[in-house]
Structure 1
Amino acid sequence: MSSNTFEEAVAATKKFTSKPSNEELLKLYGLYKQATEGDNETERPGGFDFKAAAKYNAWMNMKGKSKEEAADQYVQLVDQLSKTHT
């Protein structure tokens, strides 16, 4: 599966039969957002919305990566996760 495109990798995540760990899901989210939107320029969520804050931080951790680099890393992570979650 390592010759997947970004779009194929996104589709593959919907076929996972078991849920990746929260850490893996956050990494996927951060790479996806970086690949599709670039650097996070949004305002940090406030209050006690811990899920939104975790997602915000996951995306911020990718800051500076090119969209292409993030897409490549996303595909690699999906390929790796596919071995244990499909």
Structure 2
Amino acid sequence: MDLQQQFEAAAAASKTLAQRPDNETLLQLYSLYKQGTDGDVNGEAPSNPFDFVAKAKYEAWEKLKGKSKESAQEEYVALVNKLKAN
């Protein structure tokens, strides 16, 4: 199975985890997924200062700027596999 197939399988598996990950792990999953699919963050940061979730997601994704899509996909697959093992 190539990396893209592993990534897609991990994305599907992330929706059926036995336990819901904590918020920090969810942000990590989100940012790795976005970096692995879209590449570097694009668009403006959320303008609503009270939209804490959108701001946290944007900032988490922004921290991965410069990471290759392949590297983000590998890290995403590894994280999902680790979560499935727990």
Decide: shared fold, TM above 0.5. yes
Mapped partners of 2:85, 2:23: distance in 1? 17
Cα displacement string for residues 30-82 of structure 1 (whole angstroms, at most 9, x for unaligned residues): 00000000000210002210000000011111110010000000000101111
User: Corresponding residue for 2:23?
Assistant: 22
Runs of at least 4 residues off by over 4 Å: none
Mapped partners of 2:38, 2:66: distance in 1? 12
Mapped partners of 1:81, 1:62: distance in 2? 21
Mapped partners of 2:41, 2:77: distance in 1? 20
Letter in 1 for 2:24: E
Mapped partners of 1:80, 1:12: distance in 2? 11
CA RMSD in angstroms comes to: 1.4
Shift of 1:10: 0.4
User: Corresponding residue for 1:11?
Assistant: 12
Letter in 2 for 1:66: S
Letter in 2 for 1:38: G
User: Corresponding residue for 1:77?
Assistant: 79
User: Corresponding residue for 1:45?
Assistant: 46
User: Corresponding residue for 2:59?
Assistant: 57
Mapped partners of 1:59, 1:76: distance in 2? 18
Report the TM-score, using the length of structure 2 for normalisation.
0.90
Q: Which runs of 5+ in 2 are unaligned?
A: none
Q: Which runs of 5+ in 1 are unaligned?
A: none
User: Size of the alignment, in residue pairs?
Assistant: 82
